[in-house]
Amino acid sequence: MAEYTVESTLDARGLNCPMPVVRTSQEIKKMSVGGVLELLATDPGSVADMIAWCKSTGNELLDRKTEDGVFRFYIRRVN
């Protein structure tokens, strides 16, 4: 993994729409600026949603990977 430490992990698996974005947004706001959130999802739709959310809010998507059918995203809080 790249050189960052995860400050908080959010499991968005099985959440109804639009809860993955809502929970991520809430969680990020609780974290320190520069902190990294790890997000877990299994659904392709939430992948696209999260990346779009990062783009529109200016938060930084550091990394993404797939392990055993679970997607992991690493998002840095920018502001």
> Least separation, in Å, of the C-beta of 44 and other proteins?
4
> Least separation, in Å, of the C-beta of 53 and other proteins?
4
Q: How far is CA 3 from the centre of its chain?
A: 17
Residue list 7-66, contact with other proteins (CB under 8 A): 14-22, 25-26, 42-49, 51-53, 55-57, 66
CA distances from 54 to 23, 25, 60 (A): 13, 10, 6
Instruction: Tell me the H-state helices in the chain.
Output: 19-30, 44-57
Q: Which one of 1, 9, 14, 17 is the catalytic residue?
A: 17
Question: Annotated catalytic sites, by residue?
Answer: 17
